[in-house]
Amino acid sequence: MTPLVKIRTSELRLDFQPPEVLSEATVIGYIEMLRDGQALPPVCVRFDGLNYFLQDGFHRVEAAKREGIQEVEAEITPGTLAQMESEFHDGLKAALAQLAEEQSDKSRKP
């Protein structure tokens, strides 16, 4: 398991997900957790030697920022934005292929 480290939210690159896809309800849920004194799960970050790209945890980072929290716990692994995008697209293709197969199976059943 990759050790967890604290990273400043200002160091995170948010290129992987546009802000308009954030769910306000999810962000507010995380804010409520923070206000209740609960720790949020660590975010996942890729580091390419120069940039820290947020891979998972966009809602948690937004909640932390709104609450004035400047550092979050992160699991940092080596990787680039291009690798993240490629992995995402590969996963999406696999999910769509599985969905198509499931739909095909349903249509064959009497």
57-78 pLDDT tens trace? 999 999 999 999 999 999 999 9
What average pLDDT score do residues 94-103 get? 82
Predicted TM-score (pTM) of this structure? 0.79
Say if residues 23 and 4 touch (Cβ distance below 8 Å): no
pLDDT at 16 over 80: no
CATH numeric code, 4-79: 3.90.1530.10
* Span between the terminal Cα atoms of the chain, in Å: 47
Question: Which pLDDT does position 32 carry in this prediction?
Answer: 98
Domain ranges in the chain are 4-79, 81-110
Say if residues 65 and 34 touch (Cβ distance below 8 Å): no
The sign one gets for the Cα dihedral 11, 17, 18, 21 is negative
Query: Which of 39, 42, 46, 38 shows the shortest CA–CA distance to 4?
Result: 42
